[in-house]
Amino acid sequence: MKAFSYLAAGLLLGSLSLPANAVDLDSIDPDKARAYEAYVMTFLWPENMSSERIDYENVLSLAGIPVFESGQETNTASTETSFAADIEPLKAPFDEFLNTFKRRTQLLSNERWTLIFPETGATLSREFHSETVIDGYAEFVAHVDFTLNRYLESDLSYEHYLFDTFTTVKTKENQPAITTDGPRVTLEQTQAPETMVQKHIEPAMVLKLNFLNKTPSKKLNYIDHPTIGTLIYFEPLELEDAMERVSMEQFMDTPN
């Protein structure tokens, strides 16, 4: 049954345009490739839970800061807008943490990916972000490189933003209206000014973090930081099962 579903999805994918980060399953060497389900959760600690001072940098230019369209989310375990998110995760390694700390922390992201490394030493990259705020900016943006060596290595780059809210007030004076009534010409009383208030949000300060982590599979890892905490977990997969999951995810995320 697995072979049939994988073959069917593969034939369908062959006639469609694949997503940018799609895996070429035909090039996988089963003697060299290794597969894992990767889970990464990030959360924000409240300021009153740490005595350490964390310095943010001023954002001097908005150039290079990503702006996301409304509803544009990454492929996460909690994302409702991604079709591939409907494929059930194999594990729920962070449930105990969520039940214990959800009242004290702010969840930034809860990600999972099926990773197929073509060989030892290969690196796979993924990007993710928190839910977008007004004007398309996200509070938290991340990039991670996964490398398969003796251990599973994670190179995580984070950017956490603090925002300023700006208010723009526009006033438009209504022009007097001239009316005529036979020989009489009257000037109507000028109305009150028309005021429009427009609010917008821009990143004002940023905290940039980088973490390097090495961990064996099936071991829950916690990366500690006074501002942003991270949990990482890898579950080994049979290569055939991983290829089937990736094939279905790519098919479900492929635009018609």
Q: What is the pLDDT of residues 111-160, one digit of tens each?
A: 999 999 999 999 999 999 999 876 889 999 999 999 999 999 999 999 99
For residue 10, pLDDT beyond 60: no
Whether residue 190 lies inside any domain: the answer is no
**Are 98 and 42 spatial neighbours (Cβ–Cβ below 8 Å)?**
no
Q: Which amino acid is at 241?
A: D
Whether residue 37 lies inside any domain: the answer is yes
To the nearest whole number, what is the mean pLDDT of the chain?
Answer: 78
Whether residue 92 lies inside any domain: the answer is yes
What total of structural domains would you count in the chain? 1
At 135 the pLDDT is 82
Q: How confident is the model at residue 172 (pLDDT cuts 50, 70, 90)?
A: low
- Strand partners of residue 157: 143, 210
Residue of 83, 69, 42 whose CA lies nearest to 224: 42
Alpha-carbon separation of residue 92 from 38, 88, 111, 250 (angstroms): 11, 10, 11, 22
Whether residue 83 lies inside any domain: the answer is yes
Alpha-carbon separation of residue 90 from 10, 98, 131, 190 (angstroms): 22, 17, 24, 69
Q: How confident is the model at residue 14 (pLDDT cuts 50, 70, 90)?
A: very low
Whether residue 82 lies inside any domain: the answer is yes
Residues 253 and 23: their CA atoms lie apart, in Å, by 13
Whether residue 15 lies inside any domain: the answer is no
Residues 55 and 226: their CA atoms lie apart, in Å, by 11
Identify the domain containing residue 136 by its residue range. 30-164+202-253
Residues 49 and 148: their CA atoms lie apart, in Å, by 35
At 84 the pLDDT is 46
Whether residue 246 lies inside any domain: the answer is yes
Whether residue 23 lies inside any domain: the answer is no
